[in-house]
Amino acid sequence: MDYVVSVEIQVAYSETQMAQKLKPITDAEVVLAQKEEFSRLVWAVPLFIMIHNSEEALTMPRWLHEHMPAVAQQYGLPLTHIPSPGELYLALAMGTAVPFLITFFAAMAGPRSFGLYLLAGIQSVMLTNAIVPHLIATILLRAYTPGVITAVFVVIPFSIFWFRRILKCDFVAVRPLIFSIVLGAMAYGPIMMAIYVMSGWV
């Protein structure tokens, strides 16, 4: 008898657990999950930018002085000034701080906001930067170039994932996202030149 009662209690407990697991998700829980996903996605952008810029900070000062003159001569590039470590670090600091500010703006503004589309443009700039110069320069030189490891294994795959994810989560609309990606790629050159000028590179 005790065994039967014990089995019935276990069955009842299992049914209660199943009922709790199958409990319908409320609208509030859905909204909270969306907010958490949105926050993770937007703040991942400056985090991965910081990881990429850290590789450049560790490897670029020495690489520029050891290889840049020969590379400039080989490809006929104008070279009047090799940036000092201080100039390089200042440029990288600006290239890290600005995305953090834009991310804060996007996080406050929410999905389908100007801030998020601006952040999408920044991620497009990073994707363009990963291909030109990092990937292409490494292929042409057949040697390591500063930032190429995180460009290939972090920035490119993360960019693809990020654009697909914000679209799948309905945080952006298709046409404005495409516009942001194209505009970011086109703005890459002017943005980098502005950073170089402000940091004293040129």
pLDDT of residue 12: 47
pLDDT at 3 over 80: no
- Compute, in degrees rounded to 10, the torsion defined by CA atoms 109, 111, 115, 121: 170
pLDDT at 10 over 90: no
Q: What pTM did the predictor assign? A: 0.84
Extract the tokens encoding 72.
């400039």
pLDDT of residue 192: 86
Q: In this predicted model, what pLDDT tens digit does every residue of 19-48 receive, in sequence order?
A: 455 566 787 888 899 999 999 999 999 999
Query: What's CA 193's distance to the chain center, in Å?
Result: 21
Q: In this predicted model, what pLDDT tens digit does every residue of 103-132 receive, in sequence order?
A: 999 999 999 999 999 999 999 999 999 999
- Please state, for a pLDDT cut of 70, what percent of the chain lies above it: 87
Note whether 195 and 162 are within 8 A (CB).
no
Q: Which CATH class for the 27-199 domain? A: mainly alpha
pLDDT at 94 over 90: yes
